[in-house]
Amino acid sequence: MTQITRRDVFQAIADPTRRAILGLLLAQAMTPNALAEHFKSSRQAVSKHANILAECGLVTPEMAGREIYYHLNTQKIKEIDAWLEPFRQLWADRFDQLDQLLNHLKK
C-alpha cells in the first residue's frame, strides 16, 4: 500500500508546537521522550508532530543505541529562508537607493 504524502516545510512551520520543537532541536538532538517533557500535550501528540517534521525533512530521526534522536536538518531550514528572499531583495534594493541618497546628502 502506498501513501501519498504532500508535505512541505511551510506546512511544518505552520504549527506552534512544531515550531517549538524546531527551536528545541536547534540547541541539541533530542529523543521523543525528552522533547515531550517540554510540552503539556501528550507524548503521543508530540511524537506525531515530530513525525510530521521528519516527513517534511526538517528533522532526521537517527538511532543511537536503543534510542531515536531527532536532529535538525539545517539544509532544509534554508528552504524557509529562501521563501523570504524576494522580500529581502525588496529591502536590499530600497536600501541601496538610500545609500545613494545619503551619499549625496554628505556633499
Partner 1 sequence: MITTHETKIIKAPTGNKLIVTRNFDAPVEKVWSAWTDSKLLDDWWAPRPWKAETKSMRLSEGGQWLYSMVGPTGERHWCRVDFKTIVPQKKLAVVSVFCDENGNTTAGMPPMHWLTEFRAKDAGTAITVEIAFDNEADLDKIVAMGFKEGFTMGLGNLDELLAHGRV
Does the protein bind partner 1 through residue 82 (CB under 8 A)?
no
Cell of 63: 538511532
Burial profile 56-83: b = 16 or more Cβ within 10 angstroms, e = fewer: bbbbeeeeeeeebbbebbeebbeeeeee
Q: How far is the CB of 76 from partner 1 (least distance, A)?
A: 16
Say whether residue 107 binds partner 1 (CB under 8 A): no
Q: Which of 11, 19, 43, 82 is in the footprint of partner 1 by CB under 8 A?
A: 19
User: Could you give the 3-state DSSP secondary structure of residue 40?
Assistant: coil
List residues near partner 1 by CB under 8 A.
16, 19, 23, 80, 83-84, 86-103, 105-106
